[in-house]
């Protein structure tokens, strides 16, 4: 696995965990959605980097 792919995968997993915990703590919906959107973009980047 390439270094960029590994770093993106770690960031994706971390942001997904942070999104889940923010949702469970009851943070504002827009904040949770923003974190989730950034996590999703990291996931797309990970898939693209793994494909290349």
Where along the chain do its domains lie? 3-51
On the question of pLDDT at 15 being above 80, the answer is yes
pLDDT band at 2 (very low <50, low <70, confident <90, very high): confident
Tell me the mean pLDDT in the region 5-14.
92
How confident is the model over 24-43, as pLDDT tens digits?
Answer: 999 999 999 999 999 999 99
SS3 (DSSP) at 52: coil
- Residue 26 zone, left/alpha/beta (φ > 0; ψ -120 to 50; rest): left
pLDDT value at residue 32: 95
């Amino acid at each position: 696995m390439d270094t960029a792919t590994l770093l993106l995968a770690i960031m994706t997993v971390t942001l997904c965990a942070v999104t889940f915990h923010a949702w469970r703590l009851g943070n504002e919906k827009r904040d949770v959605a923003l974190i989730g959107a950034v996590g999703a973009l990291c996931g797309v980047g990970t898939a693209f980097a793994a494909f290349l």
